Chain A
Amino acid sequence: MGKARTIARRTFLVGSVAVTGGVAFSVWRVNTPFANPLLGDLKDGEAAITPFIKIDGSGVTLITPRADKGQGAYSIQTYLLAEELDVDPLKVKTSVGKPAKAYTNFALGEEIMPGRGHILGKLMPMQMTGGSSTVPDMYVRLRRAGAAARETLKEAAAKLHNLSADKLKTENGHVILPSGEKIAYGALAETAAKINPVKNVKLRDPSEWKFLGRDIQRTDIVAKSTGTQDYGIDMEMEGLVYATVRANPGIGGGVKSFDASDATKMRGVHKIMPVAHGVAVIADNSWRAFKAAEAINIEWEPGPYPPTSAQMWKILEKNLVPGSKAIKNRKDGNVDAALKSGDVIEAQYRVPYLAHAPLEPMNATVLITDERVDIWTGTQIPDFVQKHAVKMTGHKAKDVFVHVLPMGGSFGRRLEDTYVLQTLEIANSMRGTPVKMTWTREEDFSHDYVRPMALSRGRGTVKDGKVEAFDLDIVCQSIAKSQFVRLMGSAPPIPDTSITQGGDDQPYSIPNYRVTGYKAPEMAPVSSWRSVGASHNGFHHECFLDELIDAAGADPLKERIRLLQNDPLSVKVLEEVGRMSGWTGHKLGNGRGRGVAFTLSFGVRTAEIIEVVNTEAGIIIEKVWGAAEVGKVLDPINFEAQFSGGIVFALGHAMNCELTYEDYYPKQTNYYAYEGLKLYQTPDIQVKGLENGDQIKGMGEPGVPPAAPALANAIFAATGHRIRQLPLYKAIDFV
């Protein structure tokens, strides 16, 4: 605190421009150990009232540090600040700031380390976007920042006009005096610099909200509808060169040798050079770089993992052995005894490796001089990027600037930074020249850090029309190990919850209930994919539960509600989705069926019902209903977009997508071999957010996990065919 305070009070030089003086408050969190990162950066005439708000003569700039990969993060952060600050969210300037501890994501720490997220946040301050955490993390922080700034500006106006601050109002970027006179916030920056920031602010009651909870316009919607939104891939600057990289698709393997004699002679090629695990081409046009890269003959070393999918499945099978390697247990009742006393129902489920494949391929633009490093890229992990750059170039952290740009999707892809490291390596070899490196789509597919494949075995019993015992073993690689070793050099000393996430943490009260995870050895490198462990465990859990419910002769919706009786919030979610669908049962006859699934992930209880009809041409998905408990729906239009978008994303992958390995890399290297849902296949989707809980939650991921099992369960209800392996198209046709 002391340090920030001192800086806050320093006197700023008076420049020659009309508005002078700067203000830097640090009231955003009185107990924060982290300095306000804007302070060191202020130019004359600028004020940083909190790490999230900067004011100068021309107005207000809101800092929205959570990255936008399409989920609307910039927009909601802007609205959270604007709601208390009283500025026009569609007109105010915004910036993503720079990597700084003050922007640590505490809610994500909570997700990784339940109950101790703050500790993790402080140990390992990560300015990371992920885990559907932007809203939970920022809901109070940003409104408080807005309120603190507003009250401080009122104090400044009161001082200037010899009035008491409680006589003043604020509106649309102005303080309003009792006389009706309006003073623009920018005009108050200098005065505000010299007073004590207001610390104890009261947040407005939701009933007073002007924006939140209402139908608001996404701040980037006009740009994204008119081709005026620039993404990382659109970077241009004087002297820019265009590069691409071909790295060993056996990720981690090296280059035995390469012959670039043809490629070097091709038009527009400036340079061909080795980079880590591969070869880079630098040219005067991206396409020329792509063409030249293709013309290089490269002999790869073998990859550091088994080369084929068949071998990988064998490894999973071998590791699905009950015993000492179990890493996590959910254990209620006496499962072993229950399994002995009834007819055991047993089934195995398989899910494949999946690619993130956001539509914008990975790219970065880097300019390195002896003085500084500038990186422009779409990333969810700016402070790791900064650290890695420091290590590679030898610059000081303060001279490494990570400019986070809007992203053409991510789904977790940009929690990794290989593409930035490659660009740094190229740019470091040609200091003074800005380099834009773009991966081809094929490079992007074959160098993804993928969603792990997973295998599970369920065993269970039923009694008197009820589920009596549920025992699920899941074997899967550790995401934490693979990902954090790449990012930090070692995995954090916490158990890897992702292996069982979405499986062992469900609020069901089954009398005998056990979920066990087994860690498979590392194979293809894996990472976080939209909804992480829940993306596969939701499938294992909800499909097997459905089998037991069917064996019990119970109704899949009613039995789930009964099993969730001790968790009223979940019951409400299921009751609501049942109401929305006009539930009368799951087997509707004439080839028509409905499937239910429920998954609690990222703190959000989410239930989905899917209706399909089996036709001669194949399965048609007709309708989807979804309900989710999020505490409060802050942005109803974007809530609907994230929830229904998550469903479309999940259905497409469940139906059609897998990565299968041969020779160390996936055979699927472009979208024709990895087709998501298409528009004509998209069902009518209705979703609803419930507000019964007291915790506010984000909806970027929780819509995903229940979709695949609800679809598989619906296909069972319609056809009697239980499909236990994704993607579903291998077992059944879709229209």
Chain B
Amino acid sequence: MTKLIVNGIERTLDVEEDMPLLWALRDELKIHGPKYGCGIAFCGACTVHIDGEAVRSCQMPVGDVDGEITTIEGLGSPEAPHAVQAAWIEHQVAQCGYCQAGQIMQAASFLRQNSDPDDAAIDDAMSANLCRCGTYPRIRAAVKTAAKKLGGS
């Protein structure tokens, strides 16, 4: 039996140690915010936080998880969005939206470490998240807005 803390709740699962966290979340715990895009840590659609750090859950074996997991569902809600989510709504970033949970989780973790990023830092932090719809210009703008909001608090 594996124990995971997901969005503040302790969950017990009977899965292989090497099952990627993504599939434990999605198919066992029915937490669907993290998405399957590539399965090889290349697209970022599956990004979650482990103790606040952005992690590609498709390449993170359940047995290696050693911290508390936060998924997009645990970051904020439609009623009470996290500052990054609020910025994403304000800039209307999403097109298909499939990559955006990963983008938001990436941005939220990055802004925790660097609350006053310059353009180059944003480019660095966000360039390993793929968006096939091409929403990058708005992602840039939303990260800046979120940084201001978070910096101001």
Contact = CB atoms under 8 A, between A and B. Distances in A.
Interface of A: 68-72, 217-218, 220-231, 233-234, 236, 242, 267, 284-288, 290, 357-361, 406-411, 438, 440-441, 637-638, 641-642, 644-649, 652, 670-672, 676-680, 682, 684-685
A671 B16 CA distance: 27
In the A-B complex, list the 9 residue pairs whose CB atoms are closest, starting with the nearest: A70-B96, A408-B98, A648-B134, A224-B97, A227-B72, A227-B33, A287-B23, A224-B94, A645-B134
B36 A69 contact: no
B40 A679 contact: no
A286 B97 CA distance: 22
A221 B92 contact: yes
Given A221-B94, A409-B133, A359 B23 contact: no
Contact of A678 (B15, B127, B135): B127
Contacts of B33: 227-228
Nearest to B81: A226
A359 B99 contact: yes
A359 B140 CA distance: 20
Contacts of A225: 81, 85, 88-89, 93-94, 97, 100, 104
B139 interface: yes
A496 B114 CA distance: 54
B97 A641 contact: no
Contacts of A648: 134-137
B134 A646 contact: yes
Interface string B91-132: 011111111110010000000000000000001101111111
Contacts of B126: 679
Of the candidates A285, A287, A638, A684, the one having the most CB atoms from chain B within 10 angstroms of its own CB is A287
A231 B36 CA distance: 11
27 contacts: A70-B95, A70-B96, A221-B94, A225-B89, A225-B93, A226-B78, A229-B97, A230-B32, A284-B27, A285-B19, A285-B23, A285-B27, A359-B96, A408-B99, A637-B92, A641-B92, A645-B95, A647-B134, A648-B135, A670-B42, A671-B42, A672-B40, A676-B132, A678-B130, A679-B129, A680-B123, A684-B137
B98 A231 contact: yes
A409 B94 CA distance: 11
B39 interface: yes
A695 to B, nearest CB: 25
A226 B131 CA distance: 17
Nearest to A283: B27
A20 to B, nearest CB: 33
A444 B150 CA distance: 39
B76 interface: yes
Nearest to B95: A70
Contact of A267 (B16, B38, B73): B16
A233 B132 CA distance: 17
Contacts of A230: 32
A408 B93 contact: no
B140 to A, nearest CB: 7
Contacts of B73: 226-228
B104 to A, nearest CB: 7
Contacts of B50: none
Contact of B132 (A224, A286, A649, A679): A649
B148 interface: no
Contact of A359 (B28, B37, B40, B78): B37
Nearest to A686: B137
Contacts of B127: 678-680
Given A227-B101, A287-B27, A685-B137, A680 B92 contact: no
Q: Is the interface of B mostly helix, strand, loop or mixed?
A: loop
B103 to A, nearest CB: 9
Contacts of A671: 37-38, 42-43, 130
Interface in B64-87: 71-73, 75-78, 81, 85
Contact of B95 (A72, A670, A682): A72
B78 A222 contact: yes
Given A70-B95, A225-B93, A226-B73, 5 more contacts: A224-B97, A226-B78, A359-B99, A361-B36, A441-B37
Given A220-B97, A359-B98, A672-B42, A227 B134 contact: no
B85 to A, nearest CB: 5
B49 to A, nearest CB: 13
Interface string B29-67: 010110111111011010000000000000000000000
B68 to A, nearest CB: 17
Of the candidates A649, A676, A677, A679, the one having the most CB atoms from chain B within 10 angstroms of its own CB is A679
B147 to A, nearest CB: 15
Contacts of A69: 96
A236 B32 CA distance: 10
A440 B20 CA distance: 14
A242 B33 CA distance: 18
Contacts of B72: 226-227
Contacts of B45: 359
Nearest to A637: B92
A680 B128 CA distance: 9
Contacts of B129: 679
A70 B37 contact: no
B132 A357 contact: yes
Given A225-B81, A679-B123, A359 B20 contact: no
A648 B135 CA distance: 8
A233 B96 contact: no
B134 A360 contact: no
B26 interface: yes
A652 B136 CA distance: 12
Contacts of B75: 227
A410 B78 CA distance: 26
A228 to B, nearest CB: 6
A389 to B, nearest CB: 25
B71 A227 contact: yes
Given A225-B85, A225-B100, A676-B132, A360 B35 contact: yes
A267 B23 CA distance: 14
Nearest to A409: B96
Nearest to B32: A234
Contacts of B132: 357-359, 409, 411, 649, 676
Of the candidates B15, B85, B88, B131, the one having the most CB atoms from chain A within 10 angstroms of its own CB is B131
Contact of B130 (A242, A410, A411, A676): A676
Contacts of B131: 359, 679
A670 B107 CA distance: 24
Given A286-B27, A287-B19, A637-B92, A408 B35 contact: yes
B59 to A, nearest CB: 12
